[in-house]
Chains A and B, each alone.
Chain A
Amino acid sequence: MKNIHVSTTINGDPTEFICNPDESLLDVLRNRLGLTGAKEGCGTGDCGACSVTVNGRLVCSCLVLGVEAEAAEVETIEGMANGEKLHPLQQHFIDGAALQCGVCTPGILVAAKALLEKNPNPTDTEVRYWLAGNLCRCTGYDKIIKAVQSAAAEMRGA
């Protein structure tokens, strides 16, 4: 299979890469672009550790082909903070001890950010159902839900 050239935008930066036609966006991000923040927990779209947004839509990057990034806007965990200033979700995850091992954290933050952009004032149940595609094995989700809600409250107030 011949590689394909792709022009895209990642975290606001114009980016070009070549990849195999059957290569996942996750493999492109991790292996070709050095963006290892997205993790592969399953490769089958069941764990959400590879969550990114493509044109604002939350996706498992293990289920998206690299070539689908052509002319798209891709956002990953590496683009969430504004320089040194953490996104409120990132800050509240630290302050609220909403992470332990941290390997699911990038995916959960990307997913939670996508939720709050759609629904700035979710109920706990809405947060729990939105994040149902993001597995965490350490925390039991309790502190994650609370951190998302406290970040949402801060963002609504800001």
Chain B
Amino acid sequence: MALDENGKRIFKVVGTRPPRPDGIDKVTGRAMYGADATAPGMLQGHILRSPHAHARIKSIDTSEAEALSGVKAVVTAKDFGLPDDESVLDVQDNCMARDKALYDGHPVAAVAASSAAIAKKALKLIKVDYEILPHVTDVDEAMKPDAPIVQTGRAMEDLPDGLSENVTYHFEFGHGDMDAGFAKADKIIERSFKTAATHQGYIEPHACLASMNSDGKGELWCCTQGQFYVRELCADIMQMDASQLRVTASEIGGGFGGKTTVFIEPVALALSRKSGRPVKIVMTRDEVFRATGPTVSSSTDVKIGMTKDGRITAAHATLRYQGGAFPCGTVQFGAQSAFAAYDLEAVQTIGWSALTNRPKEAAYRAPGAPMAIYAVESVVDELCQELNLDPLDVRLKNAAQKGTKSSYGPTFDDIGLKATLDAAKAHPHYAAPLGPNQGRGLSCGFWFNFGGNTCVSMNLNFDGTVGITEGNPDIGGSRASISQMAAEELGIPYEKVRTIVADTNSIGHNDVTDGSRVTFAVGLATIKAAREAIKEMCTRVAKIWDIDADAVYWEDGYAKPSGPNAGTFDPMSLEEIAAISAQTGGPIAGHHEVNADGAGVSFGVHLVDVEVDPETGATTVLRYTVFQDAGKAIHPDYVEGQMQGGAVQGIGWALNEEYIYGEDGLLQNPSLLDYRIPVASDLPNIDTVILEIPNPGHPYGVRGVGETPIVPPLAAISNAVSRALDLRMFELPMSPPKILKALSSKV
């Protein structure tokens, strides 16, 4: 759906900052999250998890647990079928191990009991006979031919010699003559980088309440980014019809990609089916860390050639990602996005993905991109230092723009990269003085954005208010922005619109809240639904006025005769039309169903100043500014909120956060004390500059904004630290011990 031709329209509601509809519930404690629901006769479900990184399950004896008073059901993999779809089977196997426990924390059995205390006691009575197997948790080790095999039979087709069977995917992108490109360079730098796996770190652990009836109907309440995908996965796993399983998304206490799949939901459904009672499962934080979606960890080689005046002549990257114990294609996004910010004649990226004995990777905000762009932007920064060039000038000189054939194939339409770079260059932050032990870094960031399957229903109430039913859990204020777009289009006040997120039986399929898609795609469908409702209102008014429907048009909330030839009539408001709709043909509604394309790619630039304490190795972020193209900011507060939140997650990734595995393959830091996400006192204000370069694929020009902001912080901070220390850093996180170690090796 193209940008409206009157692209310079003056918006009345869009671009304002009204209060969010879920605000009062959330500040008074009334909002209902995953763990807040109860049901009559509800049991507590608890899960037994593997204490080993890799072990064959020789037998499981549940008899003592089943005999414990208060225990109503025990399930193991034997209680599940074998779905035909390999990816669904992977999800099921991740929820409940079949033959082998593949990582520390992998579920092996579950209990439903009348109390949490009894359920926990029952877990201790389950006897699992394990045969411990060799394990591997590092991506480079996992790719070696003699590595322990995590799962047999999952290797990529045509596996090259010298690689382990753990290698499951290989991708290549690029264009141009690499040798000729590098031959033109005055300076070539080739470096290797590593990034640790991080966790999405949502504050709300996964929770669900499942109720299966003996007639085959099921109800599932859970915190998820996508109730429809949950329904599809669970219906497949439970071998039931999708229509019989109603999934309701609770308010969601953060997701960031990590709540786009299922972990406990099929287990709760299986326990409920077996016990005949509703079953609630709430994960502990330990379980969240050990068994839900961290990111990939990565190992990347980057080689870039540059002329002495700063033109990139050739760029190459090889990326190796591990995504845990199941095949994971995230490296594709890394290989596609690595050089997306640049207009290059010769570029090639190669991605490899390997299995390890770690939890199955789940999406985390721009999955795959931050670690790839970290490596690329680090090398670009080092080239700028070596050639004594301004890092913003070099980005501007090489920046992708409209018409650029991207490194991953498509040719870009209108994009905002140069505008964000110009804004950064003009900003006082870029010229501010720096003190001793301080450094300034910057990085570009990119995300593809996504549209996807979307349904919106709009109903006009008799009192002239409007209800919108959509199907995407609101993770960043989307109910407000959708109501704003509806109000804008209909020409009524924001307060007259209420948007709700419906369950799976109340509206058609909606893809998961991911890919920065909701404000774009649900917004687009909302505008189309409003235009359909407007068309119907005009038809009704034409009947009343006894003129052609074509002779009625809609403006600022009123149906009006289109000109003197149409006749002279007093305009009719939406409220007036709705009030008499029962007499003019019945309730008035609009709806729209679409698989939206045209999402419009997103670029941002981050500027950061840090100070590194050479005594302790601690890094303090002194100043941070985010520049990003939002296309059109519907609710600027929530656009800023995405930019700030993403930046801070990236700061955590750069400086502190990491999955630490011991020699035994067990996760060493599965708590929020030892896995330290940024706290308020770690941070400065996060300043934001929103650019608006309209996306040609949306009527108001909207681009998704949620994911790009986590991409630049990794390199921006690494570049700032490297400049502060006068020592290039090659590994994340740059926690104090790692900085001290690097300093000690400095000659």
Q: Residues of A at under 8 Å CB distance from B?
A: 20, 30, 35-44, 46-47, 49, 76-78, 80-81, 86, 90, 93-97, 99-106, 109, 124-125, 127-129, 131-145
A97 touches B645 (CB 8 A): no
Nearest 7 pairs of A and B residues by beta carbon: A37-B29, A103-B253, A102-B26, A140-B648, A97-B637, A140-B644, A77-B29
B668 lies within 8 A of chain A by Cβ: no
B285 touches A41 (CB 8 A): yes
B189 lies within 8 A of chain A by Cβ: no
List 5 other contacts, CB 8 Å, given A132-B680, A143-B644. A38-B29, A103-B251, A135-B201, A141-B678, A142-B644
Chain A residues with CB under 8 Å of B27's CB are: 77, 80, 86, 90, 93-94, 99, 102, 105-106, 109
6 pairs, A vs B, C-beta closer than 8 Å: A41-B672, A76-B29, A90-B27, A139-B644, A140-B644, A140-B646
A101 touches B641 (CB 8 A): no
Inter-chain contact total with CB atoms closer than 8 Å: 185
In whole angstroms, what is the CA distance A1 to B25 when docked? Answer: 37
Chain B residues with CB under 8 Å of A43's CB are: 284-285
In whole angstroms, what is the CA distance A132 to B681 when docked? Answer: 6
- A44-B673, A138-B645, A139-B645 known; A97-B685 Cβ under 8 A: no
Among B256, B285, B641, B649, the residue within 8 A (CB) of A97 is: B641
A128 touches B681 (CB 8 A): yes
B556 lies within 8 A of chain A by Cβ: no
User: For chain B residues 671-715, which have a beta carbon within 8 Å of chain A?
Assistant: 671-673, 677-683, 685-686
- A103-B203, A135-B677 known; A94-B672 Cβ under 8 A: no
In whole angstroms, what is the CA distance A78 to B27 when docked? Answer: 9
CB-CB nearest in chain A for B17: A97
Chain B residues with CB under 8 Å of A94's CB are: 19-20, 23-24, 27
Secondary structure of the A side of the interface?
Answer: loop
B746 lies within 8 A of chain A by Cβ: no
B401 to chain A, nearest CB (A): 30
B645 touches A42 (CB 8 A): no
CB-CB nearest in chain B for A110: B29
Chain A residues with CB under 8 Å of B204's CB are: 39, 41, 101, 103
User: For chain B residues 237-258, which have a beta carbon within 8 Å of chain A?
Assistant: 251-256
A103 touches B28 (CB 8 A): no
Among B28, B285, B476, the residue within 8 A (CB) of A37 is: B28
B683 touches A137 (CB 8 A): no
Q: Residues of B at under 8 Å CB distance from A?
A: 17, 19-20, 22-33, 35-36, 117, 200-205, 251-256, 282, 284-285, 475-477, 637-638, 640-641, 644-649, 671-673, 677-683, 685-686
Chain B residues with CB under 8 Å of A81's CB are: 28
B198 to chain A, nearest CB (A): 12
In whole angstroms, what is the CA distance A137 to B255 when docked? Answer: 9
Chain A residues with CB under 8 Å of B477's CB are: 97, 100
B81 to chain A, nearest CB (A): 33
Question: Which of B30, B637, B645 has the largest count of A CB atoms less than 10 A from its CB?
Answer: B645
Among A102, A124, A143, the residue within 8 A (CB) of B22 is: A102
Question: Which of B25, B647, B677 has the largest count of A CB atoms less than 10 A from its CB?
Answer: B677
B608 to chain A, nearest CB (A): 13
Question: Which of A95, A102, A129 has the largest count of B CB atoms less than 10 A from its CB?
Answer: A102
In whole angstroms, what is the CA distance A49 to B204 when docked? Answer: 9
Chain B residues with CB under 8 Å of A139's CB are: 641, 644-645, 648
Chain A residues with CB under 8 Å of B285's CB are: 41-44, 46-47
B20 touches A101 (CB 8 A): no
B28 touches A77 (CB 8 A): yes
B641 touches A143 (CB 8 A): yes
B677 touches A143 (CB 8 A): no
Chain B residues with CB under 8 Å of A141's CB are: 648, 678, 680, 683
Chain B residues with CB under 8 Å of A125's CB are: 681
A91 to chain B, nearest CB (A): 8
Chain A residues with CB under 8 Å of B640's CB are: 97, 142-143
Among A30, A80, A142, the residue within 8 A (CB) of B28 is: A80
Chain B residues with CB under 8 Å of A95's CB are: 19
Chain A residues with CB under 8 Å of B203's CB are: 39, 41, 47, 49, 101, 103-104, 135-137
Chain A residues with CB under 8 Å of B254's CB are: 100-101, 103, 137-138
